[in-house]
Amino acid sequence: MTNKLPVAVQSRVDAHLDAVEKQLQAAGADRATRRNIVDDLETQIVDMLGSLEAPTPTVADIDEVLGRLDPPQAYANESAWPSDRVLRVERGIVYEPRLCRQAKQGAWCIGLGILAPLLLVFGLKSPPARHVISWLESSLQEGSPPPLWSVVLVGALVITAAVAAVALPIAGTLLGWIATERIRRSAGTQYGLGLAVGEALLYPILLVWFVTYTIDRQIEQVLYGTTYLSGPGGRQLIPSKLLWLFWTTLLSIGLVCWLRWSTSPKRGASSRPKQQNGPSSLLAPSNQ
């Protein structure tokens, strides 16, 4: 880093580089590419400051230098990044689509988010946990107190699993949404859209089902004085249950179709175009 610069000047340089890196990240550039570009840019800024021949660059100097540079937004220029990718695809060079990293991380979060409650349930049924629970239920009065390690273990298990059961689904859902956007903007260099859509919608759909199911039970209670689960006639199917199933299924299918449609890559972006006679970089598509 430019450790010889005054702090105020350095902070302006860093702010500019950070803004450029954010734009590059938003445009889908990978970490190594971002790092390379920012390093080149930092070298340029320091060189430009050096050419001012001021013994110590001032804030006015750095402002003047930064004013001569492209704004950070120029690095996210739609006409620059996607066309670069398209050119790679056209030339058949280094075109290796990879699974979107966020989709992969989201899958882990969703998977662990499902495992966490199961771990909690099975963990609480283990003999040491039962001992601790029964001791706690008796207000610490009855039976022999459980060993300290089992209390700590059960406490850690409950807290970890409870936090994971709440946090991981939220994280998985957010990562799913981020992944769909990244894949859409990657012009075919990243795949995993189906996985990302699944992550983005799994828990929202479960939430919709849960809410509508709860409302439905209340309606049944009011209308029929009983519910599907607690009705005296056994497992009779109450008509409103069919309606609940119909509407929630329809809503879920609609959500999946909408997200799949709205996030699908532009047609042709990920397909390999016809081979051209000459190097296509000389005829870059102007509308990219």
Partner 1 sequence: MDKAWSSQLKKGLVELCVLAALQEGEAYGYQLLQRLALESLLATTESTLYPILSRLADEKLVAVRQAPSPSGPPRRYYRLTAQGREHLRQLSAYWGQLGSAVNKLLADGVPEKCND
Q: Which of 6, 47, 41, 7 is nearest to 24 (CA)?
A: 41
Q: Which residues bind partner 1 (CB under 8 A)?
A: 1-2, 4-5, 29, 33, 36-37, 39-44, 46-48, 50, 69-70, 74-75, 77, 79-81, 83-84, 88, 93-94, 278-279, 281-284, 286
Nearest to partner 1 of 41, 205 (CB atom): 41
Helix, coil or strand: residue 138: coil
Closest CB 90 distance from partner 1, rounded Å: 11
Beta strands 190-191 and 98-99: pairing type?
parallel
Nearest to partner 1 of 11, 79 (CB atom): 79
Closest CB 267 distance from partner 1, rounded Å: 23
Are the C-beta atoms of residues 79 and 288 closer than 8 Å to each other?
Answer: yes
Nearest to partner 1 of 39, 142 (CB atom): 39
DSSP at 266: P
Which pair of tokens denotes residue 190? 């990243």
Closest CB 21 distance from partner 1, rounded Å: 12
Closest CB 102 distance from partner 1, rounded Å: 21
Q: Which of 184, 179, 192, 196 is nearest to 78 (CA)?
A: 184
Nearest to partner 1 of 98, 125 (CB atom): 98
Helix, coil or strand: residue 190: strand
Nearest to partner 1 of 63, 70 (CB atom): 70
Instruction: Tell me the CA distances in angstroms from 195 to 111, 176, 180, 183, 184, one per residue in order.
Output: 12, 8, 9, 11, 13
Q: Say which residue the tokens 């996030």 belong to.
A: 263
Closest CB 9 distance from partner 1, rounded Å: 12
